[in-house]
Amino acid sequence: METMSPVLLGFLGSLAAGAMTAVGAVPVLFGRTPSRATRDLMLGFAAGVMLAASFFSLILPALEAAADRHGEGAMPAAIVVAALLVGMGAVAALNELLPHEHFGTGREGPAAAELRRIWLFVFAITIHNLPEGLAVGVGFAEGHDSGLPLAVGIGLQNAPEGLAVAVALLGERYGRVRAFAVAGATGLVEPLGGLVGAGAVWLSEALLPWGLAFAAGAMLYVISHEIIPETHRRGHQRRATAGLAAGLSIMLFLDVALG
C-alpha cells in the first residue's frame, strides 16, 4: 500500500469509507429498523468520530505541517484558523446554494419547493459526505499513517448515517430496495471528495495544512449544524451524548493505534 500513489490511495480510501453508507442501510432490506432512540445514539457515535477526527487526525497534523513549513510562532496557527473558517464557510455556502431537505427542519435552499423530495434528500447527504471524502483524501496525501485511521473512522460513522437516510426514506413511503439504493448512492460523493483532496495536496505540498484544516472545518460545521441538533430533537440527549463519547474514544484510539 505504501508504494501506491497518494492520489489513488485517497480515492480508494474514501471509496471504501463511502461504501459503508450502503452497509449501514442493509437492515432496511430485511425490515429491521432500530428505534428512534437507538438511531440517535448511532448518530451521536458518528458525531463523536467526526469530532475526534477533526482535531486529532486533521487539525493537529495541519499545525505540524504548517510549523514545518513556516517555523514556530503565530503563522502556523493563523493558517490553520483561516483554513478552518474557510472550510466551515464553504459548507455553509453549500447549504445556502443547494436545494436540499433536512430530516428535522424541512426544505431549504433555492427552488427547494419545486424539486422532488428524493433529490432533496440526496443533496442534503451530499453536503454531509463531501467534506468526509475530502478529509480522507487529504489524510492519505499527508501519508498512509494519517489516511488509514481517517478512512476507518469515517467508514464507521458512515454506517449509522446510511441507516438514518434509509429509514427516513422508508418513512416517506419509499420501498425498501429504493430506500437502500438511495442511501447507498449518497456515499458515492466521498471518493470524488477524496480524489479532489488528495490531488490538490499532491500537486502542491504547500496546500497540505490548508487542506487538512479546511476538511476539519467542513466536518465541524456538519457536526454542529446538522448531526447534534438532529440527535437532540426528540429528547434522546443522554443516549446521543453516550454515543458521541464512544465514537470520540474509538476514533482517538484508532488514530493512535493505526497512526
- Write the DSSP assignment of 117-150 as a string of letters: HHHHHHHHHHHHHHHHHHHHHHHHHH-HHHHHHH
What is the pLDDT averaged over residues 161-178?
81
Q: Is pLDDT of 157 > 90?
A: no
Report residue 154 as a C-alpha cell: 469515517
Answer whether 0.85 is exceeded by the pTM. Answer: no
Stretch among 115-129, 176-190, 226-240 having the lowest mean pLDDT: 115-129
Q: Are 198 and 140 in contact (CB under 8 A)?
A: yes
Mean pLDDT within 204-232: 87
What is the pLDDT averaged over residues 21-32? 88
pLDDT at residue 107 is higher than 60: no
Residue with cell 484558523: 81
CA dihedral 200, 203, 207, 209 (to 10 degrees): 90
Look at the alpha carbons of 11, 13, 16, 18 in this order and tell me if their dihedral is positive or negative. Answer: negative
Residue 184 has pLDDT above 50, yes or no: yes
Cβ pair 179, 123 in contact under 8 A: no
Position 124 pLDDT exceeds 60: yes
If one compares 117 and 78, the residue with the highest pLDDT of the two is 78
Cell numbers for 3: 508504494
Percent of all residues in the chain with a pLDDT value above 70, rounded to a whole number: 86
Q: How many CB atoms lie within 10 A of CB 9?
A: 24
Any idea which residue has 420501498 for its cell?
175
Of 121 and 152, more confident:
152
> How many CA atoms does the CB half-sphere of 117 hold within 13 Å?
12
